[in-house]
A and B are shown apart, each in its own frame.
Chain A
Amino acid sequence: MDVEHNLIQRCINGDSKAFERLVVRYEQRIMRFLRLRCSVQSDADDIFQETFINMHRYINTYDPAYPFSSWLFKIAINALNKYYKKLEAFDELITESVLQEHSTVDNIWRVAKQTLPPSQLNLLWLTYAEGYTGKETASIMEKSLPWIKINLVRAKHQLRQALRHDAAPLSDWIN
């Protein structure tokens, strides 16, 4: 944690090496999340860049009282929303793309992506893939704790139902 704080301080002071180390530290987590959420790889790449550019731009506003990774995920989600708002066809893109892609996400998350709305998909990812607590997830998603709890239950319920109707290879998940 001290190393991270040191890197952040150096990054604020304009140290490019510190910035690079922060990128290396978090790039996989962010890219994994973006690849799940994005329909096309190029979209994920664009949002990935935007996320870290914004991180660099606003790093002086980061509050050390909160985990840096959660702050970064907040930026990523904001960049994601902004990107798709610009495209003005978020829902269409999701339904169209999920049917096409199998290479990167060919597991339970594929079903989750097909089934759940973006906010619930984010919620599931932050909770189970990233391991954030309800409070931390609420902070990242800028939602209330009750909203997080209710939607987590709903998302899991929906996912279970979808898995029951899913194709053969994924039926193993519900045994």
Chain B
Amino acid sequence: MKHDNLEQSLTTDAKHIDGDVLNKQRQQLLNKVFSENMSDNTKSTVNIRTIAELKDTSRTKTSTSQPFRYWAIAASVVVVSLFIGYNADDLTPSNTSFKPVASTENNHQPLAVEPGLSNEPSNKLSNEPSNNPIHEPSNNSANTMPKTLSRQYLVASNQLTTEVKAIQLDLDKIKQQLMKI
């Protein structure tokens, strides 16, 4: 058998296979694509994709495909964190026994506070005074504890607000894409 004959036969015989598509079949395909694929699937895929992108950027886990839910969750996180940050300024000093002691003793002998605190069984703060700036002799020592805490909360809340802004920008982009569709 000649080598070319087989290859030529493969080429010519392929053309004899019926490849006709009926108009009805084509119309069915077009209807399917533009009724289902365009209206539902593409929109949902757009939503899923954009949400997946948001997941990557914000590193949070949400299984929903609706942007407003995601936004609501992020906003509630920010509100709660701001609330905690606000209350921390008021609550932290009053719960610790440092404030009255530091203010009354006027910081001349701050280490004298420790025995009193160590008698309290469940106070963890009594075990960590050595590294804490509150025990350094200074006039503002009483306010340093709440300030450091509130700073942490402020930093955290700032980070969250920037993240929320970024999410909001992404959502605007999604809205624009959806409007185009």
Query: Are B1 and A23 touching (Cβ within 8 A)?
Result: no
Interface residues of A (CB under 8 A from B): 14, 16, 19-20, 23-24, 27-32, 35-36, 45, 48-49, 52-53, 56-57, 104-105, 107-109, 112, 124-125, 128-129, 131, 156, 159-160, 163, 173-175
Range, interface on chain B: 20 to 34
Residues of A within 8 A of B5 (CB): 173-175
Decide yes or no whether B147 CB sits under 8 A from chain A: no
With A128-B7, A160-B1 as given contacts, are A31 and B20 in contact (CB-CB < 8 Å)?
yes
Interface residues of B (CB under 8 A from A): 1, 5-7, 9-11, 13-21, 25-26, 28-30, 32-34, 37-38, 41-42, 45
For B27, give the chain A residue with the smallest CB separation. A20
- Cβ B17 vs Cβ A20 within 8 A: no
Indicate if the CB atoms of A19 and B30 lie closer than 8 Å. Answer: yes
In the complex, the answer to whether A174 meets B1 with C-beta atoms within 8 Å is yes
Residues of B within 8 A of A173 (CB): 5-6, 9
State A23–B10 Cα separation when bound (angstroms). Answer: 25
Q: Would B17 and A56 count as touching, CB distance under 8 A?
A: no
User: Are A31 and B19 within 8 A (Cβ)?
Assistant: yes
Selected contact of B32 from candidates A53, A109, A125, A128, CB within 8 Å: A53
Query: Can you name the residue of chain B whose Cβ is closest to the Cβ of A32?
Result: B19
- Nearest 10 Cβ contacts at the A-B interface: A32-B19, A129-B14, A128-B10, A28-B19, A107-B13, A31-B19, A27-B21, A174-B1, A108-B13, A32-B17
